Amino acid sequence: MNRKAKIAVFASGSGSNFEAIEEACRNGDLHAEIVIVVTDQPAAFVVERARQVDARIVAFQPKAFQSKNAYEEAILRELNDVGAEWLVLAGYMRLIGPVLLTAYQSHIINIHPSLLPAFPGKDAIGQAIAHGVKVTGVTVHLVDAGMDTGLILAQQAVDVVDGDAEKTAEVIHAVEHELYKDTLNVLFRR
Ligand code: GRF
């Protein structure tokens, strides 16, 4: 079997997807190795989760840099340092800019809690509930310069539970953890 893909996980929040990916790497369910975790939110819970598993973490504050390019160039140096081959976004709440898009063309993946192109951007589950849809879901896609607009790689539908955001989110997160792993495995085994 070919060698493991070296991945950087980007996250800004709780990091349940990071945790699922890390566990899958450790169990051999995902043919990859997390070489670095990148966050723009040093106080986010994902940092705690990353520390618990001794992952290397980079937590730059975007506002400490003169420009988005300078911020991403600093990240790129860290990614090069550890030989990251794929950027796996897991609740990273920023648009990826030209520096990383150019360096990692077609190698940046995102997961989004809706059936894109419906409900892009923030609070996709809340948007779905507000629209009264009965079915929403999860999308894994390549990242381009737009907001959740890149090539769709995989989707799974999820029924809205009792018109309730919290209950639906619980199902969505469970689906995300499986769908992300399965989709990444297909990409990494090529
Ligand atoms: C997930 O719903 C993901 O689809 C979206 O952000 C959320 C991150 O959740 N992009 P977590 O931090 O992995 O728990």
The per-residue DSSP string of 92-108 comes to: --S---HHHHHHTTT-E
User: pTM of the full predicted structure?
Assistant: 0.97
Full pLDDT tens readout for the chain, 190 residues: 578 999 999 999 999 999 999 999 999 999 999 999 999 999 999 999 999 999 999 999 999 999 999 999 999 999 999 999 999 999 999 999 999 999 999 999 999 999 999 999 999 999 999 999 999 999 999 999 999 999 999 999 999 999 999 999 999 999 999 999 999 999 998 6
CA of 1 to the centre of ligand 1 (A): 31
> Residues enclosing ligand 1, CB less than 6 A?
11, 13-17, 90-91, 111-113, 176
Quote the tokens at residue 67. 């420009």
CA of 2 to the centre of ligand 1 (A): 29
- For residue 58, what are the CA distances in angstroms to 73, 142, 150? 13, 23, 25
Query: Which residue, judged by its Cα, is nearest atom 8 of ligand 1?
Result: 91
CA of 115 to the centre of ligand 1 (A): 14
CATH number belonging to domain 5-188: 3.40.50.170
Give Cα 5 distance to the centre of its chain.
16
Q: Report domain extents, the chain.
A: 5-188
Backbone angles phi, psi at 35, to 5 degrees: -95, -15
